[in-house]
Structure 1
Amino acid sequence: METERYYISVQSKSIMKNQGDSPYELIIDATDQQVAELRSLFNALEDYDQAAMFRAPMPGIPYHHDSPNDGYDFQLKAIYRTLYNLGTEETKQHVSSLTDKLDTIG
């Protein structure tokens, strides 16, 4: 299948074909199927984000014992793994630098 260039903003969970449509952080080359899978990951991330937001005001549940936060973390890692695999060389370098920083945090 033929790939096309896409401009990605993880922060706004957007996937754009046109570079000037909105601010973006990363660039990938992907097929329609790969873009659909990335959109699905962004949707799941949003679901976990909403669940965590409703739980946030409840005191006494540590972050590392909170399943919405675990799900959010898992989805975010899956998104960055996908972006690394589909990314341009610059995108791969950026994602690698992020994961290096995350690995040092624990």
Structure 2
Amino acid sequence: MDKKTYYVTVQSGEIMEDSTAFNYDFVINANEEEYDQIKQLFEDTADAEFATYSHSFPLSLSTYYNEENSTYDNHLRDIYIKLHELGTTETRQHIETMHILDSNTKT
């Protein structure tokens, strides 16, 4: 499959082909399947973030809340692993300086 260049911002979960459409953090090259994988990771992370937020008020520091945080953190880490895998040299170097992958880089 042919790869296209995409521009990604993790905070808002956006991945677009147009670099002028928004401020982006990372540049990746992905085929359609890889693009779909990243979109799914963003959706999973958003769901986990919502669960963390919705449970934080009544259960502040409970075990359940910590499990929800762990799920969110794992999804976010998966995003960075995938971005590192598909990223340009600059993207990979930037992610490496964040030290988010130090203990388990898949690439």
TM-score by length of 1: 0.88
Distance 1:59 1:102, change over 3 A: farther
Distance 1:76 1:32, change over 3 A: same
Counterparts of 1:102 and 1:47 in 2: how far apart (Å)?
Answer: 25
What's the CA shift for 1:67?
1.4
Matched positions, count: 102
Structure 1: which amino acid aligns with 2:84? Y
Distance 1:24 1:61, change over 3 A: same
Distance 1:43 1:52, change over 3 A: same
Task: State the percentage of identical aligned residues.
Answer: 29
Runs of 4+ in 1 over 4 A off after TM superposition: 100-103
Distance 1:100 1:73, change over 3 A: closer
Counterparts of 1:44 and 1:19 in 2: how far apart (Å)?
Answer: 24
Q: Which runs of 5+ in 2 are unaligned?
A: none
TM-score by length of 2: 0.87
